[in-house]
Amino acid sequence: MKAVVQRVTSSEVVVDGETIGKIGKGYNVLLGVFPDDTKKDAEILAAKIAKLRIFEDEDEKMNMSILDVDGEVLAISQFTLCADIKKGNRPSFTTAAKPDYANELYEYFMEQLNIEALKQDYPYDREMIDGIMELILDVVCSKRKTICIAGDVKSVNVVKGRFMKLNMEHIRYVMNCMQENTTKIRSIKQYMLAALYNAPATIDSYYRAEVNHDMAEGKI
């Protein structure tokens, strides 16, 4: 994989007059994918970009990463980065990955960036985050016909449908629920399964309750 990283104060992508991507302070990342690139390459590149220290600290030295400054990333798939110009003057793009595979690795790259940000926010729970991601992958790739969620046997297709809707905010929500839980958890795996399955339906009410609590306490 090849990436061009540009530090920006703001950026947006406009297609046919419609804004399809927009960020504030952070990175513009042009991402090129080669046919022999793997998910491991995406993981390594995402970790490197997340930890690059090219933002100034209070002493105006480039000593802070995008995670340290709570920045955003606008990544753009760019096959021209894979151009071959060794022969002649006309670039050849046969060295770039096919669109479907390039998009798959692009999406995985973005997922890995989000995971790096999550690990920054929960530095003492890295193993738990890895466990949650492995559990999601296990469910989505499962060949079983049913999965037990909180004692209820559900069709694997129903569970997969729920898990396919999960995003990083749902993962943060589950992490918060686990941190705030005061009762003994007999099976971490079963608890996480149920929490992840219910997250899309319960996350809004959870944060509304948080806001109402803070308002009652005079915090907001």
Active site residues: 78-80
**How far is the C-alpha of 123 from the C-alpha of 105, rounded, in Å?**
26
Q: Which two tokens stand for residue 151?
A: 């004692």
Q: What is the DSSP secondary structure assignment for residue 92, as one 8-state letter?
A: B
Identify the burial level of 146 via C-beta atoms within 10 angstroms of its C-beta, where 0-12 means exposed, 13-18 middle and 19 or more buried.
middle
* Helix%, strand%, coil% for the chain, nearest 5: 50, 20, 30
Give first-to-last CA distance, the chain, whole Å. 45
Q: Which two tokens stand for residue 12?
A: 């947006």
Measured CA angle at 143 (ends 115, 152), to 5 deg: 85
